[in-house]
Chain A
Amino acid sequence: MHRHCHDYARSYASAGQGLPSIEPGMPLPAGTGMSRRSMMLRSLGLGVAVYGAGALGTTEHVEAAINDALGEHKVVISVFMDGGWDALSVLAPFGTDHTHEANVAALRPGLLGSIDRTLATPLAADPSLSWHPSAAGLRDLWNDPNVGVAVAPAVGYATPNYSHFTSRHFWEVGALDVNGTTGWMGRYLDRVGRPDVPLQGLTMGSALSPTLATANVPVAAVFDIDRYTYSYVGASGRVTDVATAQLRALAAKASGDTQRDQSRMVTGSSFQLVQDLAGTSATPLPTVAYPTDPSYFVDSLKDVARLLATNVSGAYLPVRCVALRGHGGFDTHSDEAASFADNLRITTQGIKAFFADLAARGQDDRVVMLVWSEFGRRPAENGSGGCDHGAAGNAFVIGKTVRQGLIGEFPGLVKAGTTSAGLMTDGNLRATSDFRGIYSALLEQWLGTDADGIIPGAGARPGAGAFARPQLV
């Protein structure tokens, strides 16, 4: 597999990119730090985990421990559409229901005109919206009786931040907290993960996604699962075995210097990961057709499908959370027509193929995917053939077990000042669902754990939490 990193410039921004923390008022980047305690725990390993569960004496716990050992986890995959995708083009506000047509034609005549309406299909759940022709991959998944798609047509939060980096950081850490340092999936892994399994949280690429930043357990980033090896030049056998063992022993020691210990921890995780990934090479390549465009995102999906299908001696790999970046960049301040459609097509066709691949491998019932962006773009176009930063955007939850439907309604494009206004005073789209409600629902309904303690402000389950939970599964 030949991958060109030069494809991944600014607009293909890395999901691992956090914020420069030390700048005044800016969020701390979600880190990857592990405590020394977890380093110590690592050496104790699986025996303790199983013994500990067994000692509790319940069948449920023993079963959980066995599933843990077999690695057949429910999986959440986050797909980040980098740059703030133009939600009003993904699901355009026209259809067989003409409610928004006059408003959208006034706000964005150029962008609207760039969509071929003869190829745009109305969304069954809200026929005032239509799938962009290049979002046909998502539309097909919606129409697929074996896959559920939940559509949030205006997701965000009440006090929108128009910075790419701050808004994305909020989504990554799962809180409106500029100082957050752990990701929402990272905190889930800290609750259920193990101190010795970096593969439990996986980013495809060379920068770790901050959504996966943990406080205690290790997580992994891999660029290409088939090429993740450590070899020595001009050396092999006993001396390199001893050298690797010495590196791993050094990695398990604490020095007291935070950054040196971070480096040691990553060294330990890296050698562990080589072991964790053993067996994937024997897993066959996909038999379904993925988009043929050169795309790291598509390559990553193929790798993830293979990882999820890999079974070594009856045990699946221990993957729980995966973070990916959709194809291309969506920060379309200008000339949106030049890039948007292709990026949307490759991303959504890739996702469609991925679910077909999972189904062919018999793994589709344990995967739910969330597709999101840091914000939607401004309803009014800017005259450069694009549009500037906006507020509410759209998100999709996809999976065999996902309950099809809407998460919140489309608020419309009526200007601020009336009770039916879908736009806020600054002309941006008002959110009708909160991303933290979606996270809470995924945690509670899919992963079977309380959102409370992972999503700040989620509130305890059951009962009325701070964020309304959509019924996702």
Chain B
Amino acid sequence: MATSHSTTAAKATTKHASAKRSAKKHAARKATKKNAKKKLPVCTSKDLKTKKAKRRKCRVVKAKPKVVSPPHRATPTGPVAAPPATAPGRDAFPTAQTPAGATDGARAYTGSFGVAQAARLLHRAGFGPVPGQAEAFAELGLLGAVQALIDPGPAALVGPAPTGAYLVGGQFAPADKYGHLHLAMLDRQVRSTDSLTERMTLVLHDWFGVGTDNAGGLRLMAGHIDLLRANWRGSFRDLLMKVTQDPAMLTFLNGTDNTKAAPNENYGRELMELFTLGADRGAYTETDVREMARTFTGFRVDYSASLGLTNFRFDPTRFDPGTKTLFAGTPYERSGRLSWQDGVNAVVDHPMHPSFVVLKLWSYFIPTAPSPLTQADLEAIYRAHGEQLEPLVQAILQHPDLYTGPEMVKPPVVHAAALLRARESGITTDAWISRCSAAGQLMGYPPNVSGWNDRAWLNTSTHSARWGFVQELITPAVVRAADYTGKAESSDQALAAALTFWGTPQISADHRAAMQVVAAQTWVPKTPGDQYGSLATFLAHRQNALRQLAAAAPDFQVS
């Protein structure tokens, strides 16, 4: 079954981008025919078990597995049947099973896909599971789970809407109030049924590194994020065309300062160095930086006291119409009266562009480098699909390295959103602005144009902020002696209750053992030095401590 689907999909995906999209949408419509209600979230296993599907208005997703394959290689012939999903726990990641004859570097993982693997996928591609979601994804199998992320149907927000006095008329005000873009993004990360789109919005926010203070302020910054969210599934070429003209980017990298009379190199340099080609690999020269700056001349903007920066436009009188030469002396040299669109096309058509995109995109999902074979296959997928990111993401999410390789530190906002999702909590406080900032990731404010340092999230300072995340979520539900009056709670019950508080996540054996030691503490009346005056007091303290330990332990920072 999987094979025929794969073949169909492979054929479909070699077609023109828009044809592929419509074919996929068609397939999606067919697959969910019985549940063809609009804007319905995917059901969790809890919904299914409790037969709440209808009441919760969710749709049952049937797995529509497909393997994204590079066009120049045969699809593997029949994956090895996956062993039953046994939820082996976080310590038991199996090694990849390579299907016989499959040398394909972009092959799909065929090992056991249990709750642990599903939870990892949800942390890497989304913002962690809501309670029961990892179990539901495990039931879908790898390909079905990835498909559910790739094609979630029309996005909807489910779960508690934001509350609190910081809201403006009950809403976030990302264009007007400091930190509200961060909160609005966090809210979507917590509640959207299209987790992958929110994750890719975060990825691209990091990729382009636009920051509010130098991008003309909150309004333009919010527009930039909307642009990224709306366009990530299209071609990267098209995205770059849009980003180049984006008022936030034109302001951020001095596009509107760049004129024929006085070229400004800022955008031309970072476009090649950080967005499309990469530094220090011989992809371009300093001359190319200067020539590229000339191709991007001509954008301008007005300023008015009431509107701020306004009327962003291309002004031919400021454009340098002369001959420019890009990548001189190479087989891909471009020369002539190049326009800014020619500049964008030149970098996307550059032979070293696919390798840059593949490695950069891969690095957001998998901490180890891809094999040369995988790298080559992913580059081929990128070109074959008209420079779309979506098929690349799909191939990466299916790749064995994601499931058999090392864990990854959860980025700060992913961790925050995942904790909120685990609690099935909405945004109830603007403390998430300062808390995430202290943890090293305030959305809207990447540290510079190269984005956040995604390899160094953890240090003693951010660790302390992550501890605070957990405190923030324990506080409104803190248990008191009164909650335990007249009750008992065994060690096992205490441990289970603390894990249930966080949606019963997968935890490592070491982490569990540490919690067990705390859970095994008992109240001994009148113990010298003990401050607990009653059993109920002791049980409340123990439970609160266990909840902190459950979500603040080092093993819980990685997935």
Which A residues have a C-beta under 8 Å from some C-beta of B? 5-6, 8-14, 16-27, 29, 31-32, 82-83, 161-166, 178, 198, 203, 205-208, 210, 220-223, 228-240, 242-243, 246-247, 249-251, 253, 255, 257-260, 262-264, 266-267, 269-270, 273, 333-334, 382-384, 386, 388-389, 426
Contact = CB atoms under 8 A, between A and B. Distances in A.
Given A250-B514, A257-B407, 5 more contacts: A25-B278, A206-B462, A231-B471, A333-B265, A382-B264
A20 B357 CA distance: 12
Nearest to B434: A5
Contacts of A382: 262-265
B464 A270 contact: yes
Interface stretch (B323-331, B420-428, B541-549): B541-549
Contacts of B334: none
A267 B178 CA distance: 31
Interface centre among B439, B510, B540 (most CB of A within 10 A): B510
A10 B214 contact: yes
Contact of B450 (A16, A20, A25): A20
B369 A270 contact: no
B445 A9 contact: yes
A86 to B, nearest CB: 15
Interface of B: 178-179, 209, 211-214, 252-254, 257-259, 261-266, 269, 273-274, 278-283, 286, 289, 352, 355-356, 359-360, 362-363, 367, 369, 406-409, 434, 437-440, 442, 445-456, 458-465, 467, 471, 474-475, 478-480, 508, 510-511, 514-515, 517-518, 521, 527, 529-532, 538, 540-546, 548-549, 552-555, 557-558
Contact of B508 (A8, A25, A242, A255): A255
B453 A243 contact: no
B352 A384 contact: no
Contacts of A269: 460, 463
Contacts of A259: 367, 406-409, 558
Contacts of B360: 20, 22-23
B449 A10 contact: yes
A207 B406 contact: no
A178 B462 contact: no
B280 A230 contact: no
A208 B456 CA distance: 8
A247 B453 contact: no
B437 A5 contact: yes
Contacts of A17: 447-448, 450, 452-453
Contacts of A240: 541, 545
Contacts of B515: 246
Contacts of A203: 459, 461
B450 A334 contact: no
A6 B442 contact: yes
B555 A164 contact: no
B448 A26 contact: no
A187 B436 CA distance: 31
Cβ-closest 3 pairs across A and B? A383-B262, A25-B281, A13-B448
B548 A232 contact: yes
Contacts of A250: 510-511, 514, 553-555
A251 B510 CA distance: 10
Nearest to A428: B286
Nearest to B545: A235
A165 B452 CA distance: 12
Contacts, number: 306
A263 B558 contact: yes
B214 A162 contact: no
Contacts of B529: 238
A135 to B, nearest CB: 24
Given A255-B508, A382-B264, A264 B554 contact: yes
B265 A389 contact: yes
B213 A266 contact: no
A90 to B, nearest CB: 21
Contact of A238 (B209, B258, B530): B530
A39 B548 CA distance: 24
Given A10-B211, A14-B453, A257-B558, A5 B463 contact: no
B266 A230 contact: no
Given A32-B456, A232-B545, A236-B531, A26 B279 contact: yes
A19 B451 CA distance: 9
Nearest to A229: B464
B211 A270 contact: no
A389 B265 CA distance: 8
B465 A206 contact: yes
B462 A221 contact: yes
B350 to A, nearest CB: 12
B280 A233 contact: no
Nearest to A383: B262
Contact of A243 (B362, B406, B479, B548): B548
B557 to A, nearest CB: 5
B399 to A, nearest CB: 14
Given A13-B447, A242-B521, A259-B367, A235 B273 contact: no
17 contacts: A22-B362, A22-B369, A26-B278, A165-B274, A205-B461, A206-B459, A207-B462, A229-B464, A233-B475, A238-B532, A239-B538, A250-B554, A263-B554, A264-B555, A270-B464, A384-B264, A388-B265
Contacts of A334: 254, 257, 264
A18 B452 CA distance: 8
A251 B554 contact: yes
Contact of B448 (A11, A23, A222, A389): A11
